[in-house]
């Protein structure tokens, strides 16, 4: 076939490629091992490093521990997948630590240079008093994933909104969990010319699930009401309740705002100062929204504002405004509880050219003055990421950079692990549920290129038959 389609010369080249399953698997393993060896060498040469880890269950029911590392290399901060190993028994903090400790020690990486560990919980593993990591890495600072904290801070709400949310989820699950209902609802949406033909299924573990689910339900409220009435569901009555629909419109808006914050906390190459600034901006907005809605002004919530305008002056929404005011106030308190850290003393790290730092030692203050006076560095500051700026000055201003990089190097969220688990789901399907995926996952996620020429030199070519 190749000879017919692309010629004898190309077919001969393809014929020289080993194509057996075992050969391909060995090649993947060789490339993965080469990447891992390079990564370990980079970490060993870095003055310190930080870890991010999370645990998830794959399609075969096996708990997998995925770990990322961030380190200094060539005057820049880099991050890469460190390993993905199965947890053979329990998923306790001690079990997770044991797997992590085995990898670190087997590869000769020094624990005492680990300065950061980010997880979405497992405080028993990282607590200051009895944390197992603290015993082997006294310099380590534990960070609770800021995306996870945001989700926890936004979870609690007044009875009115909690009831509306639960009833909304019941409506969606009634339609989505039964294939016949889902198909019939899709046909109804087509006949009514709706912008959507299906509802999204709500799930507690998806970061952005609630906002998208409620938005689609609100946009399809007429179609959902029609459908629930046809199947004689008691839930249909809520879609005729003006106060219930007003509450739903508020939830659509506030979850849209929360989703915006959530997305801003995700991504690569983030650090604690950047995400703390974004959380601080959101909490200030909560104060603003609380004040305005307490005065009966809801123009910052477009769905709610449009709904109230369409409902007319015959309806009294004062109780809805009161509940929204209480919700925003309570959420502000929750954010203050989950985000207690004060990073104002590190303002000079954010911008060393406009901030002073009287709490620093005299030597470091003198270094900061010298740095401010260097016009060359001002140009560098505006042209590169903050972490790269400080990493590039390690030789010139070692004391300042040591403090700055210990703030910027640790992970602020477990976003990379979550993204890695999405890749794992794609690689390990129900048809490949026995696959050992660490090598495949490393090749998929790593930014380090395997040294192909060196690997080829170590192999004897064997043409496929």
Residue 184 — pLDDT band, cuts 50, 70, 90? very low
The pLDDT score that the predictor gives to residue 193 is 47
State the average pLDDT over residues 127-138.
64
pLDDT range class, residue 460, cuts 50, 70, 90? low
DSSP string, 176-209: HSSHHHHHHHHHHHHHTT-S-SSPPPP-TT-TTH
Q: pLDDT, tens digit, for every residue of 229-267?
A: 888 889 999 999 999 999 999 999 999 999 899 989 998
Q: For the chain, what is the mean pLDDT?
A: 84
pLDDT at 425 (0 to 100): 82
Please report, for the chain, the start and end positions of each structural domain, with discontinuous segments joined by +: 21-145+414-457, 152-338, 348-408
Per-residue pLDDT averaged across 362-370, rounded?
92
Q: Is the pLDDT of residue 382 over 50?
A: yes
pLDDT digits 0-9 by tens, 272-324: 999 999 999 999 999 999 999 999 999 999 999 999 999 887 888 999 999 99
pLDDT at 354: 85
3-state secondary structure 391-404: HHCCCCCHHHHHHH
pLDDT at 41 over 90: yes
Task: Give me the pLDDT at residue 197, please.
Answer: 46
Predicted TM-score (pTM) of the model is 0.84
Chain Cα centroid distance, residue 199:
24
What confidence tier does 128 reach under pLDDT thresholds 50, 70, 90? very low
CATH fit for domain 21-145+414-457, picks 3.90.320, 1.10.10, 3.30.2450, 3.30.420: 3.30.420
pLDDT higher at 395 or 177: 395
Structure tokens at 9: 């010369």
Q: Show the beta-strand stretches assigned E in 152-269.
A: none
In the predicted structure, residue 225 carries a pLDDT above the cut 80:
yes
What are 454-462's contacts with CB under 8 Å, separation 24+?
A: 454/34, 455/30, 455/31, 455/34, 461/16, 461/18, 462/18, 462/23
Angle at 111 between CA 105 and CA 114, to 5 degrees: 135
Cα first-last separation, the chain: 15
Q: Is the pLDDT of residue 110 over 70?
A: yes
pLDDT in tens, 94-107: 788 889 999 999 99
């Amino acid at each position: 076939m190749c000879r017919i389609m692309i010629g004898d010369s190309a077919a001969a080249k393809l014929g020289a490629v080993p194509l057996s399953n075992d050969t391909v698997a060995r090649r993947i393993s060789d490339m993965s091992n080469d990447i891992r060896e390079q990564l370990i060498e980079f970490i060993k040469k870095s003055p310190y490093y930080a870890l991010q880890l999370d645990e998830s269950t794959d399609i075969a029911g096996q708990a997998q521990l995925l770990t990322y590392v961030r380190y200094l290399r060539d005057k820049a901060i880099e991050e890469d997948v460190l390993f993905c190993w199965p947890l053979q028994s329990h998923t306790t903090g001690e079990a997770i630590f044991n797997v992590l400790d085995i990898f670190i020690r087997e590869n000769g990486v020094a624990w005492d240079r680990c300065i950061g560990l980010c997880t979405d919980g497992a405080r028993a593993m990282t607590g200051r008093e009895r944390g197992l990591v603290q015993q082997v890495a006294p310099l380590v600072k534990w960070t609770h994933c800021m995306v996870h904290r945001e989700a926890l801070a936004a979870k609690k709400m007044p009875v009115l909104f909690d009831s509306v949310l639960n009833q909304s989820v019941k409506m969606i699950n009634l339609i989505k969990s039964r294939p016949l209902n889902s198909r019939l609802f899709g046909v109804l949406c087509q006949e009514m010319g709706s912008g959507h033909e299906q509802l999204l299924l709500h799930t507690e573990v998806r970061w952005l699930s609630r906002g998208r689910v409620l938005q689609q339900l609100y946009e399809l409220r007429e179609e959902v009401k029609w459908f629930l009435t046809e199947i004689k569901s008691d839930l249909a009555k809520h879609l005729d309740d003006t106060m219930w629909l007003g509450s739903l419109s508020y939830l659509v808006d506030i979850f849209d705002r929360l989703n915006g914050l959530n997305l801003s906390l995700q991504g690569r190459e983030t650090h604690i100062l950047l995400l703390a600034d974004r959380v601080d901006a959101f909490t200030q907005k909560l104060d603003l929204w609380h004040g305005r809605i307490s005065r009966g002004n809801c123009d910052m919530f477009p769905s709610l504002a449009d709904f109230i305008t369409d409902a007319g002056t015959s309806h009294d929404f004062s109780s809805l405004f009161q509940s929204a005011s209480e919700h925003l106030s309570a959420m502000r308190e929750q954010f203050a509880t989950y985000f207690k850290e004060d990073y104002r003393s590190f303002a000079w790290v954010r911008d060393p050219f406009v901030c002073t730092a009287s709490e620093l030692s005299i030597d470091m203050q003198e270094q900061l003055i010298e740095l401010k006076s260097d016009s060359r560095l001002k140009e560098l500051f505006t042209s590169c990421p903050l972490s790269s700026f400080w990493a590039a000055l390690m030789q010139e201003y070692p004391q300042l950079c040591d403090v700055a990089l210990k703030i910027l190097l640790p992970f602020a969220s477990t976003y990379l692990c979550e993204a890695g688990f999405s890749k794992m789901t794609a690689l390990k399907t129900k048809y490949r549920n026995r696959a050992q995926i660490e090598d495949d996952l490393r090749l998929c996620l790593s930014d380090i290129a395997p040294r192909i020429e060196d690997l080829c030199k170590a192999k004897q070519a064997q043409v496929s038959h």
